[in-house]
Amino acid sequence: MDSSTGKSFQTIGLVGRVGNSMVSDSVLAVERFLSTTKSEIVLETATASIFSEHHYETMEREALGGPCDLVVVVGGDGSILGVARDLAKSQVPIVGVNRGGLGFLADVSPDQIEQKLGSVLAGQYTIDERFLLEARIVREDEFLEGSSALNDVVVHAGTMSRMMDFSLYVDGDLVYEQRSDGLIVSTPTGSTAYSLSAGGPIMHPGLDAMVVVPMFPHTLTSRPLVVRGDSDIKVVIAKTAETPKFSCDSQVDHALKGGDEVHIAKHPHRLNLLYPLGHSFFESCRSKLDWASRLGNG
């Protein structure tokens, strides 16, 4: 994480999760504050529906990386995941206002909008680079569609209470053949999400590593595996699998067929997250994972 001072932002994109009144209130609060600055505001097309009237330019989310040098996302971590996949290629930095649950990515609280965003616009922030994953399907030696993921890629049986057989390779070496519900391949960013629920380790976001977490394996000896961040991971689905799928960030799903391969590697572009000065990953863990609690009264 690098500290920065002095950089100003001229054009700011504003994205908010539509359909939630609390998010809408915070979007309007962000707009009111930004309108008092010298910055030009661009609204995501869907977000513009929150306003009864406005005079700002609007554009689809994927296009915001063109004119904008900062994007403010109002919502939860899920909102940032979607924006990250769409804007990573543009390298435009993102700052999140948390209106969701845990909020490991969106760290600015609604009552800190003016103070924290003001500090960011004044150049008082840290830049946290996060790498993404890229997953692609290989079917009969042909690369098909794929998706990027900031948190994780999950290869699974596709139907609840159904297991599947598959083989895992890392950099061309066979790791194991397994029968289970599936497999989670997570970035350090995603280690506090689905991977954590499945028994994976918490990884500092600055690590250049991925973790492979089996989902309910039909064995007592299979454990999470941490590999280098530049590893090439291949999951070969058994031909007997009936309804296999893979998902990216639990938001984008792709159907698979028996015999398909899922290739997972580091995405060529990174996400630049901005945090106000004083942000601490470990403080987030203490507050959001309840590390600060004690047993008893001592």
- Residues with active-site annotation: 77
* DSSP H or E stretch at residue 265: strand 261-276
Tokens of 257: 């067929």
Tokens of 82: 């979607």
Cα distances (Å, whole numbers) of residue 250 to 88, 123, 176, 180, 240 = 18, 34, 25, 19, 24
Chain Cα centroid distance, residue 92:
15
Find residue 272's DSSP bridge partners. Answer: 129
Give every CB contact of residue 59 below 8 A, 6+ residues apart in sequence.
42, 44, 45, 67
Distance CA 262, CA 233 (A): 8
